[in-house]
């Protein structure tokens, strides 16, 4: 595996952003549901890291996100796998939608961002809560409440934010793609 200079720099920036959100608590939004603890916006930089840096960079940012959530559930089997997969899923979803709708188009970037945001967030919610049930951190009923109370709003927010950001960031994405192909 070889990461380009662009991927390394981008990865460092997104990992730093994720770490700052986690360490300062800004990335966690307290909610009045004891089973949940906090909603999060930390999956958004993970999704952006994946779109711009690829699945490895996205997975690395997801790992940092997962490590920062160990204070809520101190079991890496529960908090790490899904958080790492956010970046992998978001990258492949974005690429599939963006290519299907046409490279360089603002609508393709927006639709790809929305799809990556929604499915990246869904990966986080279903994966983390599913593992919490599997490893007996939560009963199924509590996980379903958490999915509805936090998962749905996080999914909507993530879809809207990434859909709004991607058309604006399309010139940077085009520059990045040209650089990775030697242009």
What's residue 78's pLDDT? Answer: 96
Tokens, residue 45: 């930089």
Interval 80-105 mean pLDDT: 93
The more confidently predicted of residues 118 and 170 is: 118
pLDDT of 37 reads: 65
Mean pLDDT, rounded, for 81-92: 97
The number of angstroms, rounded, from the C-alpha of 42 to the middle of its chain's C-alpha atoms is 7
- Please give the tally of structural domains in the chain: 1
Give the pLDDT band of residue 182 (cuts 50, 70, 90). Answer: very low
- Residue 86 domain boundaries: 5-180
Which CATH number fits the domain that encloses residue 74? 1.10.1760.20
């Amino acid at each position: 595996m070889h990461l380009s200079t662009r991927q390394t720099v981008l990865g460092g920036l997104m990992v730093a952003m994720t770490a700052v959100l986690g360490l300062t608590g800004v990335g966690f939004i307290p909610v009045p549901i004891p089973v949940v603890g906090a909603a999060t916006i930390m999956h958004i930089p993970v999704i952006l890291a994946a779109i711009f840096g690829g699945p490895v960079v996205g997975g690395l940012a997801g790992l940092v996100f997962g490590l920062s959530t160990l204070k809520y559930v101190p079991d890496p089997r529960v908090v790490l796998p899904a958080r790492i997969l956010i970046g992998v899923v978001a990258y492949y979803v974005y690429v599939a939608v963006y290519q299907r709708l046409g490279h360089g188009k603002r609508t393709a970037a927006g639709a790809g961002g929305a799809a990556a945001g929604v499915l990246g967030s869904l990966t986080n919610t279903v994966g983390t809560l599913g593992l919490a049930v599997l490893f007996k951190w939560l009963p199924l009923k509590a996980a379903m409440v958490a999915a509805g109370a936090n998962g749905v709003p996080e999914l909507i927010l993530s879809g809207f934010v990434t859909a709004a950001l991607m058309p604006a960031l399309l010139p940077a994405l085009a520059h990045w793609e040209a650089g990775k192909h030697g242009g």
